[in-house]
Structures are given as C-alpha cells and as structure tokens.
Structure 1
Amino acid sequence: MSPKVVVLRDGGAPRDGDVIIDARGTPQFYDAVILSGRELRSIVATGVVNGGIPIGIGKYTKKTVAAVVGDKIYIRGVPLTLYEEAGLLEKEISEVLAKAGADTDYILRRLKEIVVAERRRNKRSQTLAQLSQYLSGQVDSLPPHIADLVGNLDRAALQKLFDKLVEELY
C-alpha cells in the first residue's frame, strides 16, 4: 500500500496524509533529497525541517530536509510537476520507504552475525562495544567495516537498530 502524499502550498488548507511535502514559503536553497540512502528524483528540497527524527538530508547542503514527526513524514521541498501528475511521486516514496525497512532488517542480521561470531571467539564483541561508544559520543567515527555496513543510517536510526540488536542478543 503506497502512502498518502499531501503537498502543502501557499494559500492551501492543511490536509492530512502519511507523507507531507511542505512547499510553502520562499525557498531557502535548492537541493536534492537523500532519503534512506537514495536520491529522490521527484522532489527538490527547498528548506530545513526542524524537529522530529531526521531521515533525509540535502545532498549538497547536508541539512535535514526530511523528518518523522509523530507518525508522519515531513519533507521540506517542492515536488516536480511531471512526477506528481503522473502519480510517480507516491510510487517513488513508497519504494524508498520499503527499501529502508528491508535495509534495516538486513543490517540487523549482519550485525547479529558479526557480534555472535566475535563472542564465540573472544567472549566479548568489539563491534558491539564500538557501536555503543559511537552512539554515546565517546568516539566520532566507526571502524571502516562497521561504517560500510551502517553508512546510510543516521544516529537516531542507528540507536534504534542498536537497541533492537541488544534486545535480540540478550
């Protein structure tokens, strides 16, 4: 089932939807939207989303342009007319969101395999310790083998994944 996408424009009344694209006001900048590690072709970012859990960044500005607020996804941008009229906007967003869930499950399985293998060898998992230190702010970067695996996740998503990993292991 594809999410209901609502576009807020100047002078329009706020409507309810699963994904809300805020196209109101003067653009602060123009940028490509990176959502779940993939660039959206159907939306051009025009400003920053304040609040919520960041899930999308501007490709060039590195600013938060999409976030989850409550149970809705807010994107500060303008949908390209061709994609909106052809119905491709909803299709692309649903593909990206479905891919994000599949990626998270895959990453969780891989991390679990790594941690279990390390614990069998050493009674202690270096990967689990490094993830914990990174999330608590003790270290600024992850080792390359972990960074390659979790590279497209932000800290909030990685924290959720880490909590789920610890829950499944213990």
Structure 2
Amino acid sequence: MATMNTYTGNKIDPMNMAVADISIQDIAHALSLTCRGGGHVSYFFSVAQHSINCMNEAKARGWSERLQLACLLHDASEAYISDIIRPVKVHLSNYLEIERSIMNVILERFGLADLSEEENAMWKQIDDEMMNFELKSFMKGEEYRTVDNLVSVPDKAERPWREVEAEFIICTEKLSITLI
C-alpha cells in the first residue's frame, strides 16, 4: 500500500481513503499553499482563497449554508492529489476518477454526500464564474475577458497563506453539518 504523509502527520492511502482520513486542518493547510492557475498568475493566489470567494458568493446570493459549504469544499480533493489546470485535467480520465472518489469521501465527512444534481450545478456555476473573474484579474492577456456579474466582491488581495488557512478552517467549522 502506497501512503502519503499529511500536514497533521497522518499516513493515508489516497487511492483508498476513508472518512476518518479527512482532516480540515490538512485540507486548509494544503489548499492555502496551492497556487491557482498552476502558478501562472500575477501573484500568489491560493486555491483556499478561491474557495472562500466561492463560499462568499453563495452567501451573497442567499444560498443555504449547505451550498456555501459545498462551494467552500469544492476543490478539497486537491489537498490530497494537487491541482491540475482544467485544460489538462479534462484529458486525464483516471485522475478524474481518483478526484471523484476522494471528493465522495470528503463530502460524506462533511454531511454533503447527498447533494442533488441541482445543488452540484449551482456550486459549479459559481466555480466557473469565479474562475472567469480570476482569469481576468490575474492572467496576462485576459484583461478584456467578459465576466459574469458576481453579487459579492471577491477578495483578490495578496494575503499570507496562514491567514487564509485560518479563515478556511473557521468558515468550515461554522458551516459544517458534522462537527470537526
């Protein structure tokens, strides 16, 4: 069995994860140190900060805390298998299967295993709209990109990763259906 070490010191098999393997500290730490856009952005902007922005957009739209949590955790699998940019990810069917398997365990851990198709479409819509905003904001050559009107004002400040990590944990704890 091949295992990985996590930030909290756990040894887990990412190919065979269990609910007990999931730690919000591991997720928040890894995502706060993972840069969006494969690092090709104008300054360090983490996956965790993107996820917080998605959660805040869901809140601004008046969506339920359940959907806010789904938005916050939508990239949580990347804490265990890293981020791969979308233009490449769509060609990696095995990666997509692994990602889906890990996300299923994460969703179960946080009481979101029963998200409906409609709820999944809702968080994916915000993810796509936030990605367009980020491309326009952080990528050279995308300044003239048309973006959807967001209800919130996304935080695009360059922030210390430890601050983002702490905010991610606090938001998850506040929204969690299952206590951490």
So what's the TM-score if we normalise by structure 1?
Answer: 0.29
The structure that is helix-richer by fraction is: 2
The structure that is strand-richer by fraction is: 1
Larger of the two Rg values belongs to structure: 1
Q: RCO greater where, 1 or 2, for CA within 8 Å and sep 6 or more?
A: 2
